[in-house]
A and B are shown apart, each in its own frame.
Chain A
Amino acid sequence: MVKFNLRKDVAFAIVFFVGVLTAVEYFVALPDLRRIVADLQSWGTIIAAFSLGVGTINLIVIHGRRVSSRTQGYYNNFVLLLALTVTILIGLWGTNMHPAYQFIYFNALVPSDTAVWSLLAFYIASAAIRTMKARTKEGVILLITGILVLIKNTPAMGVIWGGFTIIGEWLLSVPNVAATRGIMIASAIGIIALGLRVLLRQERTSLGG
């Protein structure tokens, strides 16, 4: 006799019900169905928001233990916990429109975020230099293609010879788009297969084993 597992069986039943209903709603124009799916999606967002609490607890436990055991660099963990506490308290006390909250957001978070974003330019340069080596046939093709697209994006080269722009644009809009669409179509088919495996309960790991 098949044993009923409350936690897993109920979870899979919900996944199946919501999954099928959402897929049907995408194709069928029934206002009632649309309203039900919109409600289900809102519930999903609310549940996801609750999990932010789980993430915050995880942060507090990990960094709190490091501070209490004085591991190397524990002061960094302390700064994180302090910043987390202060931001949460200000947010709870005066909402995220409070001047103090806005000050933290625009003077600490935004500049730090932008600084890490800007690092990407250097990482792209170092990765490009490593890639642009003509060791194999494919490497030579990549090198020539890369240089042509680079030239296409340099305004001065377009003035020297208009053909650079035409070649660069052709490379981007024909072979590049063809390969990209191939990957996208195959991925879409893969998503259908994965969805089916999840809905038919063949693929179980993603819901906790």
Chain B
Amino acid sequence: MIPLVPGRSSAMIILISAAFLIGAMLFLSRIRKMTPKVRKVAGLTAIEESIGRCTEMGRPIHYAVGRSSLTGPSAAETIAGLSLLGHVAKLSAQYGVRLIFTNQLPEVQPLAEDIVKQGFLAAGKPEIYNSQNVRFLSSFAMAYTSGAIGVMYREKIAANFMLGGWYAESLTLAETGFNLGAIQVAGTTQVAQLPFFATVCDYVLIGEELLAAAAYVSEDKVQLGSMVGQDFVKVVAILLIALGAILRTLGVDALYNLFRL
């Protein structure tokens, strides 16, 4: 008998069930038994428009993925931000717009350089890739912030993408983008920062929208299948929340206790 960590059994069952459901949808898409239809996400369709605007204005794009370490519990949002970086790099190469990536996570630097390079390669323009546009500024949050503000002002950016794990620096950078008149697309799962982005940015990817963004822009049916699975899991979660609320109101603690196992 495998010993389980006390208090984590229900979480394990939820994780396995969710992974199974999402995996099943992914598999069905792969064997072409299902053609997923995904609603348009305004923030993601705005990315290409923003890059087009940068082309017309002859001004660069600023991209950053925030401060969630790749070795920490919030790594998923950095991974999502990096996935979108590849898409933005490809588009910026196609349009011939300069992409400036500023970074405060040392472990992201080699990845970001590679992703941007691959994006330019995928667009068939590896010769215009310039490693000096992928800039590590500082691993101190506020030192990075002041550095990034300087870059945004000096380079007169026309589009600002802040997609990843954002914390205290979110509003300062978004306000700078706003003052420069840049189109801003921001996304994070950090609920404390979402109001700031909603206030200042033109488009906001809220929580799961950021995490699904790479699948969405890839237009790969297999990846989109996982989004359908995600929706099924959400429906189950909503039903469980409703059932839990009703049962607790009636004084029945069975479901509540089940989730505490």
Contact = CB atoms under 8 A, between A and B. Distances in A.
A192 B230 CA distance: 9
B135 A62 contact: yes
B134 A206 contact: no
A41 B135 CA distance: 27
Nearest to A199: B19
Interface string A65-98: 1000000000000000000000000000000000
B71 A203 contact: no
B239 interface: no
Contacts of A200: 23, 26
A112 to B, nearest CB: 7
B160 interface: no
B207 interface: yes
Contacts of A56: 136
Interface residues of A, number: 60
Interface string B1-43: 0111100110110010011001100100000000000000000
Contacts of B87: 205
B199 A131 contact: yes
A34 to B, nearest CB: 10
Given A28-B4, A29-B3, A196 B26 contact: yes
Interface in B141-172: 142-143, 145-146, 168, 171-172
A183 B189 CA distance: 8
Interface in B93-111: 103, 106-111
A98 B242 CA distance: 59
B201 to A, nearest CB: 11
B81 to A, nearest CB: 9
Contacts of B143: 109, 112-113, 116
B114 A190 contact: no
Interface string B77-97: 001101101110000000000
Contacts of A47: 107
B46 interface: no
B180 interface: no
Contacts of B107: 47-48, 51
Contact of A192 (B5, B15, B85): B15
15 contacts: A27-B12, A29-B3, A41-B71, A48-B69, A48-B107, A51-B109, A59-B136, A61-B131, A62-B135, A183-B191, A186-B208, A187-B189, A194-B76, A194-B212, A205-B214
Given A51-B109, A184-B191, 10 more contacts: A183-B191, A184-B189, A186-B208, A189-B18, A190-B189, A193-B229, A200-B26, A203-B79, A206-B83, A208-B115
